[in-house]
Copies of this chain bind each other. A is one copy, B any other.
Amino acid sequence: MSQVHADRRGRLRDRCAAAGSAAALVSRPANVRYLTGASPPGAVLLLGGDADGDALLCPQPPTGDPVEGRVDEALRLTVLPPSGGDPAVTAADLARRADADVLAVEERHLSVARYRAIGSAAPRLRLEDLGTCVEQERLVKDDEEITCLRIAAEITDQALGELLESILVGRTERHLALELERRLVDHGADGPAFPTSVATGPHSGRGRHRPSDRRVEEGDFLSVCLGANYRGYRCEIGRTFVIGTAPADWQIELYDLVFTAQRAAREALAPGTAYRDVDRAARQLLDSAGYGDGLAPSLGHGVGLEIEEDPQLSPSAMGKLDACVPVTVEPGVHLPGRGGVRIDDTLVVRQEADGGPELLTITTKELLAL
């Protein structure tokens, strides 16, 4: 893996050099991890003019524990002592001593106070904005990254599948959410990719409903949304079930509508398709059925080292899909007081010739009565 990280750093180094920056300081944790394989708390990466000038710096944890995380062998990790101050300032000082005159920093992530501290410590270093250079590099995933996402999805499907075999009526949303998270870890996840959501009855159909003490009842819709974090890579699945022997007519109708909308958006996933067109494929169906007003601003998003990353699949998003970009497709309709339906998958965009979009989360999307 360490060659992969060295290559990524090399590409970023080239982009910075082309933009006139001899050095760059990366502080956003997911970006640090992408470029080094690790992101101990508070770590920053200094990218020098050549690989020898690279340095990963982090503060000694206040607990005194050794720093954990698989760090790239090609890169030294320096743990600063408690009196060592801000690693970003130390990195700027290293850049200055290596005769860099321009340092690109992540203005979207760096605080004003740290920015000022760097400016005071290295006044002759000109600070430029690195912008979203690293985030753009992270958009298209390599095979190793997609393998991690695939494993994350397998774990997620297993955890959900086991839950479906258990008795649900009478149990609270909070219990079910905790049980799903335990099962994710049982099956090898590093943890949940985001807080697991379990929504029953009137809560169902919401995207990030925070589990409450409400118990599952006969006749409820039950929506769950969960995902595993595997080696930092995060996926997402959302399903809606009905509790009891037979769904009501309104439940079948609403389910079919959301299912059809979700399928339309999944089928729209192809290299070259505009982000907004994926959103529109689902949104226009829900809109013409009269549910346009209550829809989420975005019906899907990229996933990877963060659970929500670029691209956003929304009406105002600019840009087009590439192959090997993993995204969620997650339309939902919530009827206040009654509940609703949400169906959410993680897929990888693929060329038609490669079989079209690759569905990672394969749990059935039939309306199961549990």
Residues of A bordering B, CB below 8 Å: 60-66, 68, 81-83, 105, 107-113, 115-116, 129, 174-175, 178-179, 181-182, 185-186, 206-210, 294-298, 301, 308, 312, 314, 316, 332, 334
Contacts and interface: CB of A to CB of B under 8 A. Distances in A.
Contacts of A68: 210
A207 to B, nearest CB: 3
7 contacts: A62-B308, A81-B297, A82-B298, A82-B316, A107-B116, A179-B182, A182-B182
A110 B108 contact: no
Copies of this chain per assembly: 2
Contacts of A296: 61-65
Contact of A174 (B64, B116, B185): B185
Q: What are the 6 closest A-B residue pairs judged by CB atoms, nearest first?
A: A63-B207, A64-B296, A82-B297, A107-B112, A107-B113, A108-B113
Main secondary structure of the interface of A (DSSP, over half): loop
B174 A178 contact: no
A60 B334 CA distance: 16
Contact of A207 (B65, B107, B207, B298): B65
Contacts of A294: 64
A65 B208 contact: yes
A62 B298 contact: yes
Contacts of A112: 105, 107-108, 110-112, 115, 129
A176 to B, nearest CB: 11
B297 A64 contact: yes
A294 B181 CA distance: 35
A89 to B, nearest CB: 14
A186 B178 CA distance: 10
Nearest to A181: B178
A298 B61 CA distance: 9
A334 B65 CA distance: 9
A312 B308 CA distance: 34
A186 B298 CA distance: 34
Given A63-B296, A298-B62, A111 B107 contact: yes
Contact of A64 (B82, B115, B295): B295
A105 B68 CA distance: 34
Q: Point out which of A115, A116, A129, A208 has the most chain B C-beta atoms below 10 A from its C-beta.
A: A208
B111 A108 contact: yes
